[in-house]
Structure 1
Amino acid sequence: MTDAFANVLLRPWDGPLGAPPFAEVRPEDFLPAFETAMAWHREELAAISAQAEPPTFENTIAALERCGEALGRVRRLFWTLSSAQGTPAIRAIETQVSALLSGHSTAISHDPALAQRVADVHSTRHEAGLYAQQVRLVETSQAGFLRGGAGLTPPQKHRFAEIDARLSALSVQFGHNVLAATSDWVMDLGAEDLAGLPAGLCNAAQGRAAAKGISGRYHLTLDRTDYESFLSFSERRDLREILWRAFTDRCDGGPHDNWPVIAETLALREERAVMLGYADHAQYALEDSMAHTPDAAADMLTQLWEPGKRRAAEEAVELQALINAEDGGFTIAPWDWRFYAEKVRRARYALDGAAVAQHLRLDAVRQAAFDTAGRLYGLSFTCRTDIPGYQADVCAWEVCDSGGAAIGLLFTDYLARPEKRGGAWMGSLRVQETMDGQVLPVVYLVANFAAAPPPDTASTRLSIDEARTLFHEFGHALHGLLSRVTYPSQSGTAVARDFVEFPSKFMENWIVSREVLSGFGVPDALITAIRNAEAYGQGFATVELIGCSLIDLAIHRASGAADDPRTFVEAELQALGMPQEIGLRHRFPYFTHIFDGGYASAYYSYAWSEALDADAFEAFVASGDIFDPALADRFRTEILGVGNTRDPMASFQAFLGRAPDAGALMRARHLVDA
């Protein structure tokens, strides 16, 4: 292995707090590193399979947890860079890397000797004197092998491997198409086109044009930050329509058309699910979720859908009345909704979104998130300028507990760049575990906030929704940082898809609280306006979210939907009665969550997790202190700390002492009387 260590990607990370060697990473080293790390992993797996001793938890399940360490490092580092710093050299090998990893994973599941050892441990798990978390690890390991095709016949295994390889390639292709379609488009504006726009948006747009050597012009992009802000504030209806159409038409035909990718993906997902004995992909995907079945997920969504539509209809009437009062002479369209809703907020609640943004400097919002974690969990965050990130905008933070002991490392990467994928996310470069001694987690947060020149966190202002996004992703980071488990595959955010969004949704509550907003110097009257306006627009927000969730479930349950997915989606929208003036939050040709992000059949998870969040936060409100130390300690211990060591429903019940209250989400979305 000595010669292999000439490749920096294969060396153990020995930076401060276990930081990876970002400064030494070269794209050309990745493919050789993957090949070597996979070879090492195969040797480790072969040694487990070849043991003469009968299978036990320690020599099989724990051994599996220990092996593949080098591959894990290379894999996490690559996907971190490909999503957040996707240079042409990285993009060029994404498909090849994805195929290598897919084939490697499938080969493990299809190894009969290894699968049999896991099955043998599983069959005796209750008689082996194992701890509860060890029993759960055995059960999830067995399920992973079966879901990976371990029980299939040789011809089926061959076809399964083909399907997995092709799905992996299609996912990469889908993401590349979305990134290309997004990057290829710009709206070039002059000073005469800026009426109504906040200064922060204008400065960012001017900075983009200036970076291209163009003075006196303003460049708007298809990043969601630009999109939502422009549609909320621009007085130019014609330009709002241009931007809306460009945003929603991405990858719907043309050189980056994703409909063929969607059709093939759906067909292959259905084929794989049926091969494994499931009725459809949705049943396969939800088996290990909190909902467990597509019917349970759909039932929850349906309870919100009609009340959400009724509230949206009321909002539409009010917005149309405002248009008519201004002699607009048109019927409200999707590119009008946010603009007139913003007017209602200003008129009814004295809420000026642009005024709020002036108080929400990015660096201050980041610090407010840190301070909130300090008050809730006793954490402190110290900037480590000696730890380089993968880009100049990336900051490293040492995270310590109340006693001053380091518990992890956090990288933050908030400013938009062309080489980033759209949206915001959290990831882990290393997960917490204690199998052979304490291993500290290394996590990162990425967003795409439009940077004002100069591109830094002090000059960049956020809308209240963007600040909510920062707190949301920080909630995911806390889930990773505060994990306290033994085995790496049970660590932090490695939980059911419809539970993983719970800690992140939960964290959003603090950014709109009076206690936190007052720290930004937001006037009390404006805080009151923000709080009062929380109830407004819930019809629109509910329809956007639930519509996507229902159609995601439907298209993954319907046999034959792959034949013509565009027609299927249109028919489902009509059957649901989707308001034309709202439409889907994510149209399918750029719906990366379900075609390039692991949320296929599971976009409902956001609503499901929001129901848990609403119920949990009600407990804090009822205590009279949203920083209640006893509740915070219990949340840290029973939710954030346990990872996937037990069923998520048991974790929720351990926190509140009861099952979730189904009515909490209706109350949180102000839909009780809708």
Structure 2
Amino acid sequence: MSNPLLKKFTTYNETAPFSQIKTKHFKPAFIEGIKNAKAEIDAITNNTNVPTFENTIEALEFSGQQLNRISSIFFNLNSAETTDDIQQIAQEISPLLTEFSNDITLNEVLFKRVKLVYQIKDDLNLTPEQDMLLTNKYKSFVRNGANLNEDQKTELRKIDTELSKLKLKFGENVLAETHDFELHLTNKSQLSGLPEGTIEAAELTAKQKEKDGWVFTLDYPSYVPFMTYADDRNLRKQLAIAFGAKAFRNNKNDNQQIVLDIANLRYKRANLLGYKSHAHFVLEERMAETPENVISFLNDLLVKAKPAAIEEFNKIETLAKKDSINHLEKWDSAYYSEKLKKELFDLEEEKLKPYFKLENVIEGVFQISKKLYDLQFEEITTIEKYHEEVKTYKVTDTSGNYVSILYADFFPRKGKRNGAWMTSFKNQWKKDNENSRPHISIVCNFTKPTKTKPSLLTFNEVTTLFHEFGHALHGMLANTTYPSLSGTSVFWDFVELPSQIFENWCYQKDALNLFAKHYETNELIPMELIDKIKKSSNFLEGMQTLRQLSFGILDMDWHSKNPSEIKNVKTFETASFKNTQLFSDVKENCMSTSFSHIFQGGYSSGYYSYKWAEVLDADAFSLFLEKGIFDKETALKFKANILEKGGTVKPMDLYTKFRGQKPTNEALLKRAGLLK
């Protein structure tokens, strides 16, 4: 069988040839890719010459590129366009990839060569980037068991294989649970309060499912507006409980035991490597450095945010009492928050949506990127797609030099997980006098167009698009020599800076005027609405901060202690939320069983990084506010010191080079309205 994944791609800029790739090609490609990568490793270990930076470290860095490419295509599809067959292959292939990864890090001959180069690194006259690569390679061996004895190495392999399977199963269960529930309504009176566009979308969903009436799902574009506008409290309750009960229903998709198993295996792995806990292991390679620092950081913000959160909660509850609701529940939060927002700022989400047609917002993101970073985006149809809804762009600089390929995938569908993320189909690197450019992708789940309306985004969806595009800029503008140091390959608590800082432009008049135009009249967003957006920008910031902190604290509770005594996921979680809880507990609900960020994604012991990066982004954006939001000098400094540099320099050094000083949390507290 001819396998397109094993040939050099002859497509435009070597983009993935999706039309040629069939599901049946993946497993043979992985097996062959692993074999070829092993041969490349053997070539390094069998080299009889004295180990050097070039014949060992660089050779190792550029080994396995074919396998990396196959993996990125496959696992991106498993997130954005999965099927039962793809999930089955993922279960079969993940242990093989884990085994291969362990074959490298536990290869004694290879480690010996790396160690010999590392020991003489001060005499090698390396560039800072080469020095970082060598240090990272050496540490990755040590942090993955190179110094263990044979029995311990066998144990580590076992743990890693089991973890890879469990994380996949966790994600599959959450996806299955998301698609398992639907709220099917046939009585028009039950739609009271819902915006016309939401009703139309629910009617479209019902038709697709061959049902009469309206169907609401747990996908965000369906769930969020229902919780925000539906007048029927019982229906809101039904939907909220279903959303919070994902993978916590003692059925075949239940994740309770999986959560316990993952936490315990991570703890055992950390202990095996000589660390006190999984968090101690992870944070050694983060800006925060230790669990103690993270907990102190979270608690410090908690002290400042909690009084504001309680005050805001009381305001919402007071409003709800006018409707004879004496006890505010979780399913009342979005509904009465929206009413309070209207009362305080005379601002309704639905009045904003006509100004945020998806195509206009995309164009706005492009224009802002051009003003700041001299980028141009051209939609092209010569790039193959994994789904017809995906948009593809060629990115160049204003001189016409090729920068990147960008894929954009905006709407929910079966086989696509919830949420929004940036990823890549190919990294950037420099080799043989060529700067090989990246292929970047952003994936979202936005409000779909209906038969009468285009996709009109909520303001929250607008900030989400800017957030993911900030990550995409970090990937697209990468300009480093080595792929493992390129783009978003940075410390996890630094990776959110480019994404979160980019959200700030959504609140600025000069930026909004570029794209916030009424989809029917083309009229610019009125100044009064811009003022209201700005005034409401820190609306309920205390409650939002408390919510983020609660997730960060839960993450640290799972990962900074010995979890072997935890017998009940729900009981443990309830105790963790004690200091951050505003609403009464819902017995049918559990956060941990669908907390994909920490149990499937890469955020274990790292969820705090959203808040950590907010400190950085508020501090960094204060310089733009001071100099001008499109000030070229500031933008180019940010591009040169943050966006292009990837992980080649320690994050705090990069930041202080851009900012001229270390960050303080004053700008964040001021922006959030938490400075008294």
Judging changes above 3 Å, is the alpha-carbon distance between structure 1 residues 605 and 229 closer, same or farther for their aligned structure 2 residues? same
Counterpart among 82, 92, 100 of residue 96 in structure 1:
92
Counterpart among 661, 668, 671 of residue 674 in structure 2:
671
Deviation at 1:581, TM superposition (A): 5.2
Amino acid paired to 2:542: G
Partner in structure 1 of residue 77 of structure 2: 81
Amino acid paired to 2:481: T
Is the Cα–Cα contact under 8 Å of residues 360 and 462 in structure 1 kept in the other structure?
A: yes
Structure 1 counterpart SS, 2:387: coil
Distance, in Å, in 2 between the alignment partners of 1:577 and 1:33 is 48
Partner in structure 2 of residue 657 of structure 1: 660
Partner in structure 2 of residue 569 of structure 1: 573
CA deviations 1:106-147 (Å, max 9, x no partner) are 111010000111111111111111111101100011111111
Structure 2 counterpart SS, 1:188: strand
Is the Cα–Cα contact under 8 Å of residues 248 and 590 in structure 2 kept in the other structure?
A: no
Counterpart among 110, 116, 135 of residue 120 in structure 1:
116
Aligned-residue sequence identity (percent) comes to 34
Partner in structure 2 of residue 490 of structure 1: 485
Partner in structure 2 of residue 644 of structure 1: 647
Distance, in Å, in 2 between the alignment partners of 1:16 and 1:254 is 48
Amino acid paired to 2:457: L
Amino acid paired to 1:426: M
Distance, in Å, in 2 between the alignment partners of 1:90 and 1:119 is 39
Alignment of 1:25-104 (within 5 A): 25-104=21-100
Partner in structure 1 of residue 138 of structure 2: 142
Deviation at 1:561, TM superposition (A): 5.0
CA deviations 1:300-335 (Å, max 9, x no partner) are 1111112222111101211122122x2424311111
CA deviations 1:36-91 (Å, max 9, x no partner) are 01000001101101111111110001001121111011011001111001022212
Distance, in Å, in 2 between the alignment partners of 1:161 and 1:345 is 53
Structure 2 counterpart SS, 1:438: strand
**After the TM superposition, which of the residue ranges 120-129 and 37-46 deviates more from structure 2?**
120-129
Structure 2 counterpart SS, 1:22: coil
Structure 2 counterpart SS, 1:434: strand
Counterpart among 408, 433, 438 of residue 435 in structure 2:
438
Distance, in Å, in 2 between the alignment partners of 1:254 and 1:200 is 35
CA deviations 1:380-417 (Å, max 9, x no partner) are 10001121210000011000101011111000001110
Partner in structure 1 of residue 521 of structure 2: none
Judging changes above 3 Å, is the alpha-carbon distance between structure 1 residues 226 and 540 closer, same or farther for their aligned structure 2 residues? farther
Distance, in Å, in 2 between the alignment partners of 1:154 and 1:658 is 47
Partner in structure 2 of residue 249 of structure 1: 245
Deviation at 1:562, TM superposition (A): 4.3
Partner in structure 1 of residue 509 of structure 2: 514
Is the Cα–Cα contact under 8 Å of residues 200 and 460 in structure 1 kept in the other structure?
A: no
Is the Cα–Cα contact under 8 Å of residues 547 and 580 in structure 2 kept in the other structure?
A: no
Task: For structure 2, list consecutive stretches of 5 or more residues without a partner in the other structure.
Answer: 517-523
| Alignment of 1:417 onto 2:413 | yes
Partner in structure 2 of residue 293 of structure 1: 290
Distance, in Å, in 2 between the alignment partners of 1:291 and 1:651 is 15
Distance, in Å, in 2 between the alignment partners of 1:136 and 1:75 is 25
Distance, in Å, in 2 between the alignment partners of 1:561 and 1:266 is 11
**After the TM superposition, which of the residue ranges 481-490 and 517-526 deviates more from structure 2?**
517-526
Deviation at 1:454, TM superposition (A): 5.0
Is the Cα–Cα contact under 8 Å of residues 555 and 561 in structure 1 kept in the other structure?
A: no
Partner in structure 1 of residue 125 of structure 2: 129
CA deviations 1:347-368 (Å, max 9, x no partner) are 1111110111121111111111
Is the Cα–Cα contact under 8 Å of residues 544 and 583 in structure 1 kept in the other structure?
A: no
| Alignment of 1:459 onto 2:454 | yes
Is the Cα–Cα contact under 8 Å of residues 267 and 562 in structure 1 kept in the other structure?
A: no
Partner in structure 1 of residue 520 of structure 2: none
Structure 2 counterpart SS, 1:498: coil
Structure 1 counterpart SS, 2:404: strand
Distance, in Å, in 2 between the alignment partners of 1:313 and 1:130 is 54
Distance, in Å, in 1 between the alignment partners of 2:13 and 2:196 is 40
| Alignment of 1:471 onto 2:474 | no
Is the Cα–Cα contact under 8 Å of residues 84 and 421 in structure 1 kept in the other structure?
A: yes
Amino acid paired to 2:362: R
Amino acid paired to 2:337: A
Distance, in Å, in 2 between the alignment partners of 1:577 and 1:73 is 43
Distance, in Å, in 1 between the alignment partners of 2:428 and 2:325 is 59
Distance, in Å, in 2 between the alignment partners of 1:529 and 1:15 is 48
Structure 1 counterpart SS, 2:184: strand
Is the Cα–Cα contact under 8 Å of residues 201 and 452 in structure 1 kept in the other structure?
A: no
Distance, in Å, in 2 between the alignment partners of 1:285 and 1:23 is 39
Deviation at 1:225, TM superposition (A): 2.9
Structure 1 counterpart SS, 2:441: strand
Amino acid paired to 1:116: K
Judging changes above 3 Å, is the alpha-carbon distance between structure 1 residues 329 and 438 closer, same or farther for their aligned structure 2 residues? closer
Deviation at 1:513, TM superposition (A): 1.8
Distance, in Å, in 1 between the alignment partners of 2:53 and 2:601 is 32
Deviation at 1:254, TM superposition (A): 2.4
Distance, in Å, in 2 between the alignment partners of 1:565 and 1:211 is 37
Distance, in Å, in 1 between the alignment partners of 2:283 and 2:195 is 43
Is the Cα–Cα contact under 8 Å of residues 18 and 440 in structure 1 kept in the other structure?
A: no
Deviation at 1:228, TM superposition (A): 2.2
TM-score by length of 2: 0.96
Alignment of 1:220-299 (within 5 A): 220-255=216-251, 256-299=253-296
Structure 1 counterpart SS, 2:134: helix
Deviation at 1:477, TM superposition (A): 0.5
Judging changes above 3 Å, is the alpha-carbon distance between structure 1 residues 432 and 150 closer, same or farther for their aligned structure 2 residues? same
Deviation at 1:264, TM superposition (A): 0.6
Amino acid paired to 1:411: Y
**After the TM superposition, which of the residue ranges 584-593 and 527-536 deviates more from structure 2?**
584-593
Structure 2 counterpart SS, 1:397: strand
| Alignment of 1:374 onto 2:370 | yes
Structure 2 counterpart SS, 1:445: strand
Deviation at 1:95, TM superposition (A): 0.8
Distance, in Å, in 2 between the alignment partners of 1:207 and 1:111 is 55
Partner in structure 2 of residue 207 of structure 1: 204
Is the Cα–Cα contact under 8 Å of residues 328 and 583 in structure 2 kept in the other structure?
A: no
Partner in structure 2 of residue 622 of structure 1: 626
Is the Cα–Cα contact under 8 Å of residues 277 and 560 in structure 2 kept in the other structure?
A: yes
Is the Cα–Cα contact under 8 Å of residues 185 and 214 in structure 2 kept in the other structure?
A: yes
Partner in structure 1 of residue 528 of structure 2: 525
Judging changes above 3 Å, is the alpha-carbon distance between structure 1 residues 150 and 223 closer, same or farther for their aligned structure 2 residues? same
